[in-house]
Amino acid sequence: MTRRLVAGYLALTAVVLVVLMVPLGITHRHNVEQDLLLRMERDAAVLASLVQDDLRQPSTARDAQVDRVGTAYADDTGARVAVTNAEGSVLLDTDPPAPGERSLRTRPEVGEALGGRVATGTRYSQTLGTELLYVAVPVAAGGTVYGAVRVTYPASEVTEAATRYWWLLAAVGVITLLAVAAIGWLIARWVARPLSRLEQAADRVGAGDLAARAAEDQGPPEVRALAHRFNAMVGQVEQLVGAQEAFVADASHQLRTPLTAMRLRIENLGAAAGAAGQADADAAVDEVDRLARMVDSLLALARAERGEQEPVRVDVSALVGHRAVAWQDLAAEDGVAVSAQVEPGIVSRLPEGMLEQVVDNLVDNAVSVGAPEVVVGAALVDGMARVSVTDTGPGMSPDERAHAFDRFWRATTSAPGGGTGLGLAIVRRLVEGAGGDVRLEEGPGGRGLRAVVTLPRA
């Protein structure tokens, strides 16, 4: 953001500089040219007054005096001076293009001067092959024109002066841009830094950290007001989410006691009803057991959502092997063989009890679908701890695997009344809360299902 703001300041400043400096440079060149022409006109008029009497004298004395005056001026100023008689013949040329006598009558400015008018301007000289600034004035007395004085400068004199001014403007522009960049960077940092921290706070809130807050004492008033409103919003969300989680946890906890009492009453009623009512009582007990499991799952999910436990060092290899052994006898009653394939020495930092709950949920799902064989594994893959539960059961279609982690979703292969649809949702919340990832894959050889949990190493 800082770079974009500074770039915006520089772009705006550059546009303003161009709008201001280009006309200024063009105007300066025009003024330099006009000033030079005015000086030339003044000097030419002075020269004309100095040679006026000389042009009325005989040729010999006249030419010497004209040469002296014109040459002295040319040496002092660097200009080219040409003096002609009334017919346009050159009496003096301080920088002739070629030796010999010649006439300037055909030159437009000289023709105007011999006609009694002052001529000024610029034109391209075919003889010299360059652009010239010229001034031609008549040498006249008593209404009679005795000749003309022409003063010329190469236009490069003006170009050089204009170029120097352009370089000066460029230097001023560069200094201005550097100053704007420095000041703009400070302003941009003042604005962007609190916005960046606000963005970081928003990312933390989006990741589930509702305790994150943005600083309200930095940046311009608008940014401070935005941070204050953001914090107020997050506070409200935290209260709502906390109230929701507390309600689920409290409700789940409070429901366990009446469910247990209900189960006992139904069992007593079934015993009193005899053989005729025992089947209905057993079905009712199964529904109560299913409801109790759902309540326990909701309580576990609420605890997982809170994620309040600090991570501890966990021996993943030992824990996974232990859970596989713990499940062997229980799964054998349903005709399921549970085995372990564990690499030694895998350690991770996880919330206490988190991995046991994840493995138990995944093995329970595999056993509940009647898979003949379940393999619980732990390995080190690409620097990450990978825990897997692979079964040889009916598996899931790609569409079912995509929805398997949704709350209360159950696969078509699930046993009737056997699950709550919350097990995998709990697993995903626990794993993601620990900074890991969980996914379902097709089993080896396209048979069964493999749940893969990836966890960071310690």
Lowest mean pLDDT among 76-80, 203-207, 348-352: 203-207
Instruction: Quote the CA–CA distance of 40 and 28 in Å, as a whole number.
Output: 18
Start-to-end C-alpha separation, the chain: 36
Structural domain spans, the chain: 2-160, 208-308, 309-455
Using only C-alpha atoms, what is the Rg of the chain? 50
pLDDT-based confidence at residue 73 (cuts at 50, 70, 90):
confident
- What count of Cα atoms within 13 Å lies in the side-chain half-sphere of residue 178? 6
Q: Which residue has the higher pLDDT, 93 or 210?
A: 93
pLDDT at 202 over 80: yes
> What is the pLDDT at residue 290?
65
pLDDT (average), residues 42-53:
87
**Contact between residue 349 and residue 311 where contact means Cβ atoms under 8 Å apart:** yes
Highest average pLDDT, of 148-162, 250-264, 302-316, comes from 148-162
Judged against a pLDDT cut of 80, whether residue 43 lies above it is answered with yes
Q: Return mean pLDDT, the chain.
A: 82
- Whole-number pLDDT of residue 416: 47
- The amino acid at residue 325 is V
| C-alpha torsion sign, points 312, 316, 317, 323 | positive
Query: Can you tell me the mean pLDDT for 150-179?
Result: 89
Gap between the Cα atoms of 340 and 334, Å rounded:
18
Stretch 11-27: mean pLDDT, rounded? 89
Q: Which residues contact 30 (CB under 8 A, 6 or more apart)?
A: none
Task: Find the farthest-apart pair of alpha carbons in the chain and give their distance in angstroms, rounded.
Answer: 162
Q: Length of the chain in residues, anyone?
A: 458
Residues 6 or more apart whose Cβ sits within 8 Å of residue 435: 455, 456
Close Cβ partners of 125 (under 8 Å, ≥ 6 residues apart): 131, 132
What pLDDT sits at residue 332?
87
Helix (H, G, I), strand (E, B) or coil at 333: coil
Could you tell me the pLDDT band of residue 293, with boundaries at 50, 70 and 90?
Answer: low
Task: Classify residue 84 by its DSSP letter.
Answer: E
The dihedral through the CA atoms of 453, 318, 354, 362 has a sign that is positive
Mean pLDDT of 135-149: 89
**Helical (H) or strand (E) element with 404:** none
The per-residue DSSP string of 334-363 comes to: TT-EEEEEE-TT-EEEEETTHHHHHHHHHH
- Whose structure tokens read 């809170």? 306
From residue 209, alpha-carbon distances to 6, 96, 196 in Å are 33, 91, 17
Domain 208-308 fold is: Helix Hairpins (1.10.287)
Band (pLDDT 50/70/90 cuts) for residue 299 is low
- The Cα–Cα gap between 339 and 342 comes to 10
Average pLDDT over residues 149-176: 89
Alpha carbons 182 and 309: distance in angstroms, whole number: 47
2 vs 375, higher pLDDT = 375
Q: Of 213 and 58, which is predicted with more confidence?
A: 213
Whether residue 1 is predicted with pLDDT greater than 70 in this model: the reply is: no
pLDDT of 278 reads 74
Confidence of residue 350 (pLDDT cuts 50, 70, 90): confident
Helix (H, G, I), strand (E, B) or coil at 102: coil
pTM: 0.47
CATH topology (fold) of 2-160: Beta-Lactamase (3.30.450)
Sign of CA dihedral 202, 204, 209, 211: negative
Highest mean pLDDT among 88-102, 118-132, 288-302, 443-457: 443-457
Tens digit of each residue's pLDDT (9 = 90 or more) over 362-396: 888 888 887 889 999 999 988 889 999 999 888 88
Place 307 in a pLDDT band, splitting at 50, 70 and 90.
low
429 vs 245: CA distance, rounded Å: 14
Lowest mean pLDDT among 27-31, 99-103, 113-117, 323-327: 99-103
Report how far residue 24's alpha carbon sits from residue 271's, in angstroms, rounded to the nearest whole number.
108
Q: What token pair was written down for 240?
A: 């709502």
Amino acid at 401: R
- What's the confidence (pLDDT) of residue 61? 53
CATH class of 309-455: alpha beta
Q: Residue 352: pLDDT above 90? A: no
Give the pLDDT confidence score for residue 174 in this predicted structure.
Answer: 92
Mean pLDDT value of segment 68-85 = 87
Q: Kindly state the tokens that stand for 282.
A: 């057993």
Residues 6+ apart with CB under 8 A from 324: 338, 339, 340, 342, 363, 376
% of residues, the chain, pLDDT over 90: 15
The lowest-confidence range among 158-162, 274-278, 301-305 is 301-305
When pLDDT is cut at 50, 70 and 90, the band that residue 38 belongs to is very high
The DSSP-derived string for 292-308 is HHHHHHHHHHHHHHH--
- Please answer whether residues 365 and 395 qualify as being in contact, where contact means their C-beta atoms are separated by less than 8 angstroms: no
